[in-house]
Amino acid sequence: MKRPATLLAVALLLLSFALIGYRVIWLKYPIFPAAPQKVWRLSMDARVTGGEKETTVMVGLPFTDRGQTVAEERIRSGTLPFNLLREGLNQIGVWSGVTSPEGEVIGYSATIQVRPSHSLKAKASTFEPFPLNVQEEDQALAKRLVEKWDPLPPVDRLRRIAAAMRGIWGSPPPDGQDVREWSAFLEKHSQLDAVLLLLRAAGLPARVVEGLQLAESVTDSTLTWVEVWTGQEWDCLRPEKGEIHQKPVPLLPLTTNGLSATRVINGELSNVRWTLRREIINQWRMQFDRIMRSNRFLDRWSLFRLPPEFQRTFRILILVPIGALMICFLRNIIGFPTFGVFLPVLMALAFRNTGLAYGLGIFWGVVLFGYVVRRQIDKLRLLLVPRLSVILTLVILCIIFFALLGNKLGLREFMAVGLLPFVILTMTIERFFVIVEEAGAREALWTAAGSAGVAVITYKILQLEPFQLTFFVYPELLFVIAAIQVLLGRNTGYRLLELFRFRGFWRSP
Amino acid sequence: MILKAVRWLREVGVLGMNRRNTEYIMRFNPRSFFPLVDDKLKTKQLAKAHQIPTPPLYHVIEHHGDIRDLGKLMSDHQEFVVKPARGTGGSGIILVSNHTEEGFTKQNGEVIPLKDLAYHISDILSGIYSLEGLEDRAFIEALVHPDTVFDAITYLGVPDIRIIVYRGVPVMSMVRLPTRASDGKANLHRGAIGVGIDMGEGTTLKGVHRSQIVTHHPDTNKPVTGMQVPHWESMLLIAARTGDMTGLEYLGVDLVIDRERGPLLLELNARPGLQIQLANQAGLLRRFELIDNAPPEIFSTPEIRVAWALDTFSARTLN
């Protein structure tokens, strides 16, 4: 008899774990959707002014790769149509069109999760040619300057070049003539060109990256740095400081391979402002966009695909079975009396609108008032169904009274009583009366207290946001709940209160 | 502490609510047979067909319209009992011991007018006392005059005998004695006392009153132990036959002993309470296991089952 139930429970558990496993491993869901996570909130806005011709603004935007996840992207484009383009390693947001005379405000914002452990671990880039504007004699000069480092591994070569950019050439020092020529070169060229030249001469693949410093900041300009391939990964070098960044690199790339982060054709970009803010969100939010766009079966059948106004309902509904599980537990494991199975769950749902204190107060108020009236009605000798109807009417009147009172006193909680389960309250009054009559007031109060207690516990569970979210992301967890319910249904052990009830057996084994 | 308590109860073989429901009621009592015991009128008819005595039936009231004739119907009965056919735990039962011009005298001396009685019956028909709140029938049967043996330890009301039957074998039993608190009703949860019975001898043991072990009746202060229950073996035989009669293998059989008519079957219960274990200071589970391990030939006839039970569950054998 016990085996089929256990098998069913195991099957339900396996089904649930299989679905969750599939989501976590293949669909890359977070295991703890509600776990908090530090992310960056990036936003860019700027004013575009153009002439009569079509203006095009191109802005390098971050995108999801191994080093980072980009989600919750929002575009502000005014009247300009917006497009996303891939350009080499970059993702470019393109706003193009004829701007109105007073200009257009464009904007972009996104939530970015940076995963330092993966950052910049990409494939080696191709060998870049010498910078275009460098003369052949300068190329030869650079080669002479770095050739003594040739036997060193790439990381050390990079370190020497970084030091050289700070003017430290190490020993043995290079030829005095070469150093003078190099100084002359630096006067004519930018630091960036200089460092690229040295890197090329030293045989280190490099690329120019434009982006932002990862720090809480508001800035109108972007940074430029050089990423250097050192055989295993890309190292970041700040040319103007001659500094190599330690890992994790506090930089957010926007464009690589020398593209400028912002470009404008036929127009002007003003008031450019980049903002970075630290935010703590739950892991789920990072996955949300991806799942909304995904075509995988389970993603398409996710509860998140429901219209938002229905989602709220399901967030709660999905937790109701947990409430029922609580009642199974309290009744069959503890042995606590409650009014029926569903009253406490429905009460808990109502508490969500009224709040706990008001909800409990109103519950007790209505039940006790209803009881007093029920006692009086008893003398009238009404038939069962009309009598219950009278109590139902009374309950509705109570609820209306509370709502009006709440309106007068400005207490929203009182006005929310409309959601109290009035049918259940009616039956509770009747049951309460019958229990008082048959088993005494003590028993009745005990049962009412049990129901209220279960309702409070259930309410507390329903209110747990992480719980709500986890069940909403993984509705298959309900199979786990069902499995526990099945197992509780086959529980043959003593109830906790039964141990006390049979205390007469305690000392006589 | 909890584990210790569990171990003690296990050692005695106490049957708990969860195990009773899952392993005995659901397994041995097919749902389809429940109406036979949930409806006392059906039980009465069935008992009649099997020559098991029950209190004589006066009237059955099925429709609200029939209540109008109540006064006429009752005119030739001085005393009677009104019961809902599907009532539980003794609710909705009114014992009338005298019938005069002013009205009906209840067991506790209170006099209620005819219209109150009619209202009560109307309640019964509406299903207020019935198991699932379904429409019900009310019936009126003869008032039982209990055997005088328990007079000293009964406060009003009618004491009854509860016998647990498992697979047709009487397992455990108790006398249920009404108290002032139970308002003349013999239901333990209303405050009646349950007094265990030595199955072998039919003599009373200690009692249980609201989970407390007692040796004296709280209202009369007379000892409840060591009394001989009359008609013991014939009651066990009635109990043993109810199993065959209903097809239910785990039953609580409620009997009364009428002064003139002897043992009468009052009602059957497919979900018998567990308090009887405290009254007997013995576990049901232990005795069920003895029955499950018994040789198959003991199940052949009610007489053999009773003989086996008298022998196996007597205090002498068990100790």
List pLDDT tens digits, range B248-293: 999 999 999 999 999 999 999 998 989 899 999 999 999 999 999 9
CA distance A451 to A187: 84
Q: Answer whether A492 sits within 8 Å of B18, measured CB to CB.
A: yes
- Answer yes or no: do B121 and B66 share one domain: yes
- Answer yes or no: do B181 and B267 share one domain: yes
The encoded tokens of residue B50 equal 């099997």
- Answer yes or no: do B37 and B174 share one domain: yes
Among partner residues B6, B19, B91, which is closest to A499 by beta-carbon distance? B6
- Answer yes or no: do B124 and B150 share one domain: no
- The CA distance from B205 to the nearest CA of chain A, in Å, is 15
Which one of A427, A438, A485, A500 makes the best mutation probe of the B interface by having the most chain B beta carbons within 10 Å? Answer: A438
Q: Answer whether B16 sits within 8 Å of A493, measured CB to CB.
A: yes
* B3/A contact by beta carbon, under 8 A: no
**What CATH number does the domain containing B177 carry?**
3.30.470.20
Cα angle B277, B267, B242 (rounded to 5 degrees) comes to 80
Close Cβ partners of A233 (under 8 Å, ≥ 6 residues apart): A120, A121, A122
* B2/A contact by beta carbon, under 8 A: yes
CA distance A293 to A289: 6
In the Cβ-directed half-sphere of A142, how many Cα atoms lie within 13 Å? 24
- Answer yes or no: do B159 and B290 share one domain: yes
- Answer yes or no: do B137 and B152 share one domain: no
| Closest of A491, A334, A492 to residue B2, by C-alpha | A334
- The CA distance from A488 to the nearest CA of chain B, in Å, is 9
Q: Answer whether B11 sits within 8 Å of A509, measured CB to CB.
A: yes
CA distance A486 to A8: 8
Domain final residue pick, B71, B106, B141: B141
- Answer yes or no: do B178 and B65 share one domain: no
**Ordered per-residue pLDDT tens for chain A, 509 residues:** 568 888 999 999 999 999 999 888 888 788 887 777 788 889 998 888 887 888 888 888 888 876 788 888 888 887 888 888 887 778 888 988 888 888 888 889 888 888 765 544 455 556 666 666 677 788 888 888 888 888 888 888 888 888 888 888 877 777 778 888 888 888 888 888 888 888 888 888 888 888 888 888 888 888 888 888 887 778 888 887 777 877 777 888 888 877 788 888 888 888 889 999 888 877 777 777 777 777 788 777 888 788 878 887 888 788 888 888 888 888 889 887 777 777 888 888 888 877 888 888 888 888 889 999 988 887 776 777 788 899 899 888 988 888 888 888 887 777 776 666 787 788 888 888 878 877 778 878 888 888 888 888 888 888 888 888 888 888 999 999 999 999 998 888 899 988 888 888 876 54
Where in A11-65 does DSSP place strands (E)?
36-50, 55-61
Contact B304, B168 (CB under 8 A): no
Nearest CA in chain B to A431: B128
CA distance A468 to A42: 28
User: Across the A/B interface, how many CB contacts are shorter than 8 Å?
Assistant: 85
Among partner residues A332, A384, A505, which is closest to B126 by beta-carbon distance? A384
| Closest of A253, A273, A259 to residue A61, by C-alpha | A253
- Answer yes or no: do B129 and B30 share one domain: no
- The CA distance from B5 to the nearest CA of chain A, in Å, is 6
Domain final residue pick, B111, B141, B171: B141
Q: Which domain holds residue B124?
A: 57-141
**Ordered per-residue pLDDT tens for chain B, 319 residues:** 888 888 888 888 999 999 999 889 988 988 888 888 889 999 999 999 999 999 999 999 998 888 888 888 888 888 999 999 988 777 788 888 888 888 888 877 888 888 888 888 988 888 777 766 678 899 999 999 989 888 888 887 789 999 999 999 999 999 999 888 877 778 887 788 999 999 999 999 999 888 788 899 888 888 889 999 999 999 999 999 998 899 899 999 999 999 999 999 999 999 898 989 999 999 999 999 999 999 999 999 999 999 999 999 988 887 7
Number of folded domains in chain B?
A: 2
Domain final residue pick, B112, B141, B170: B141
- Answer yes or no: do B13 and B62 share one domain: no
A339 alpha carbon, distance to own chain's centre? 39
Which one of B7, B9, B206 makes the best mutation probe of the A interface by having the most chain A beta carbons within 10 Å? Answer: B9
Which domains are seen in chain A, by residue range?
A: 36-120+263-286 (2.60.40.2250), 136-257 (3.10.620.30), 312-502 (no CATH)
- Answer yes or no: do B259 and B170 share one domain: yes
- Answer yes or no: do B48 and B73 share one domain: no
Q: Answer whether A492 sits within 8 Å of B91, measured CB to CB.
A: no
Cβ contacts (< 8 Å) between A494 and chain B: which residues? 5-6, 9, 14, 16, 18
Q: How many residues does chain B have?
A: 319
- Answer yes or no: do B194 and B275 share one domain: yes
Q: Answer whether B190 sits within 8 Å of A491, measured CB to CB.
A: no
Cα dihedral angle (A472, A476, A477, A479), rounded to 10 degrees?
A: 140
Q: Answer whether B211 sits within 8 Å of A508, measured CB to CB.
A: no
